[in-house]
Amino acid sequence: MLIVYFLSLMVIGQTNTTLTPEEASRAMRALPLVAMINALVLSYLAHALVWAALANVLVRMMKAKRWETSLAVGLTFAALLSSAIGLFPNPYMPRMVRQAHFFELLSSMLVFGGIAGWVIHGTEG
């Protein structure tokens, strides 16, 4: 990310003759935002790789039919993420927001885990 940032600075510095001072200033102010967006995308990719690795481990450990494995992965994902966030009170979320977030995470992780288990299991077994 830092390399892209500094290379962009060099490019903007070289093309400064064709830009108005306002455009150059705007481009320089946009570079940190671009770097933050790139870092956010990379963190999401790392997050996805962790969940995919966990799904892969769960699928490989189970010697069951495809639908049973998918259900187990979905339930595991839903239990891991939604129970820690939604079941216990915390000072940052009001009760109604916490409950809504609990059901949102429960359903989305159940679906994601089921699909991940189904895809990773493949046709064998």
Return phi, psi of residue 22, to 5°: -65, -40
- Kindly indicate the confidence band of residue 30, based on its pLDDT and cuts at 50, 70 and 90: confident
pLDDT one-digit tens code per residue, 64-122: 899 999 999 999 999 988 887 778 888 888 888 888 888 898 999 999 999 999 999 98
In whole angstroms, what is the distance from residue 95 CA to residue 83 CA? Answer: 14
Mean pLDDT (the chain, rounded): 82
